[in-house]
Amino acid sequence: MEEILNQYETVHASDATIWFKAGKVEDFPTNRGGCIKYKNKQIAIFNFTRRNEWYACQNACPHKMEMVLSRGMTGSADDIPKIACPMHKKTFSLVDGSNLNGDDFKIATYPIKVVENEVFVGFAD
């Protein structure tokens, strides 16, 4: 199971060497998630219109290793945008991937940019 998590590593916008075209803005639901596949990774993408922001993270919940985060509930905790796993309600920051429940689990996050109605996710590999 750990080999699944080991393939995900946070990428900061300044470290992105590849900007993968994930789709058009209208391909992603508002205030919910969608999922794409990049190489062997499932990436959850969130069009968080309530905040006028976009976020991307691994789709794998590190708690039970299920590919479900794209189906989780978006919200905010102390003004930090978050995703709650739909299975066990573990919550993660969409900014830095930290666990907002105080558990050791965290998730990888990826930069997003929108250019002329196209959504791109940044990767370092």
CA distance linking residue 90 with residue 13, whole number of Å: 26
pLDDT digits 0-9 by tens, 36-51: 999 999 999 999 998 9
- Take residue 11 and report the two structure tokens written for it: 């990428």
| Neighbouring residues of 21: CB distance < 8 A, sequence distance ≥ 6 | 118, 119, 120
For the chain, which residues score pLDDT lower than 50? Answer: none
By three-state DSSP, how is residue 67 classified?
A: strand
Closest residue by Cα to residue 106 from 53, 69, 71, 79:
69
Domain boundaries, the chain: 1-124
Q: Are strands 18-24 and 41-48 parallel, antiparallel or unpaired?
A: unpaired
Residue 4 pLDDT? 77
Q: Which CATH number fits domain 1-124: 3.40.50.300, 3.90.230.10, 2.102.10.10, 1.10.3720.10?
A: 2.102.10.10
pLDDT digits 0-9 by tens, 61-80: 998 889 999 999 999 989 99
Residue 88 pLDDT? 87
Residue 1 pLDDT? 57
Look up the pTM and report it. Answer: 0.94
